[in-house]
Amino acid sequence: MKNINAHALFIFTLVYEYKSFSHVARQQNVVPSSISRVISQLEQSLGCQLFYRNTRSVIATENAEILIEYARNIHQNLTEVFEHIGEQQSEIRGRVRLNAPVLFGQLHIAPWLAEFNELYPKVVIDLTLTDEYIDPYKTSSDLIFRIDALPDSNFHARVLHQVKYYLLASPRYLNKSPKLYHPQDLIHHQCLVYQGVYGPNIWRFKTDDQLQEVPIQTTFTSNNAAALMIAAEQGMGLVLFPDWLVQQQIQQQTLMPLLTEFQGSIHNTQQSISVIYPHMKTMPTKIRVMIDFFVKKYGTPTYWQCD
């Protein structure tokens, strides 16, 4: 049996009800031969005759009597599905699956979710936090918050922020350590390094379009930025951290910015905070309002910018 499309079954139910090709054709604003062709193709797909036709009437066969209940049920089910989807779009309901790096999610996503829930109580939020790379092609996430270079052009990306890095140390560390005047002076300092997927421990500093890459001898490495933050605040060494992570520490002066005339980074490309999502002909309302919500909350410039 060949594939049978829902439209053909819908036309069949109309012909069965009105017992007239011409009546159905007028209702659907097509010529009668078009309706006849749909029914003939359906009969061919099923391998049986559905109607006896003559110049005066259309009579349903025994096969049509069997098919009609199935066809009506299929049409009703599809109608309910489309209505349900339409309700979800208009009422803003359904599940939104978010994915984000661990600390960014803890600091800048989770604190806002209660407010989002008050605005859209019928939206169910599923938040996964991981520092592992998430392949957009292999994940079921609706929105991925990515801190990286701009993603694959096959996905939409809403850029939320251009990341700025800060070289930081606690007052305790600065009181006991040599003065730091230049990136090359880092060879005389204890450095605390995030153990990620970025290759060798190289910190990059740029000024006047000149880039300096400084190999770092580490005192402490970790794959957890929170652990490095604690060590830095306790005077163990220097960290090179993004602005979204260190706003509070800078404001409270538990960590002090250093070499501010240089633009620091642990990457060789500009890092952005973006929210990415697949191409869609029509974006579900639940996704759109989620993006708009965080864009508004983060602001322009973002609330965590330290300058």
11 to 2, 28, 37, 38, 85: CA distances (angstroms): 17, 9, 11, 8, 23
Residue 132: which pLDDT band, with cuts at 50, 70 and 90? confident
Domain interval for residue 208: 165-265
Residues 52 and 200 in one domain: no
- What radius of gyration do the chain's Cα atoms show? 31
Decide: 306 and 250 in contact? Cβ < 8 Å. Answer: yes
Pick the more confident residue, 201 or 184.
Answer: 184
Pick the more confident residue, 38 or 84.
Answer: 38
Number of domains the chain contains: 3
Q: What are phi and psi of 174, to 5 degrees?
A: -65, -30
pTM above 0.85, yes or no: no
The predicted structure's pLDDT at residue 279? 75
Residues 51 and 81 in one domain: yes
The answer to whether position 157 is within a domain reads yes
| Interacting residues of 229 by C-beta distance below 8 A, sequence separation 6+ | 239, 241, 245, 246, 249
Q: What is the CATH number of the domain that holds 217?
A: 3.40.190.290
The answer to whether position 79 is within a domain reads yes
The predicted structure's pLDDT at residue 285? 86
Position 152 pLDDT exceeds 70: no
The predicted structure's pLDDT at residue 153? 62
Pick the more confident residue, 106 or 208.
Answer: 106
Position 141 pLDDT exceeds 90: no
Residues 238 and 275 in one domain: no
Position 190 pLDDT exceeds 60: yes
Residues 169 and 261 in one domain: yes
The answer to whether position 19 is within a domain reads yes
The predicted structure's pLDDT at residue 269? 84
The answer to whether position 304 is within a domain reads no
d(CA 207, CA 212): 9
Q: Which of 301, 295, 199, 304 is nearest to 245 (CA)?
A: 304
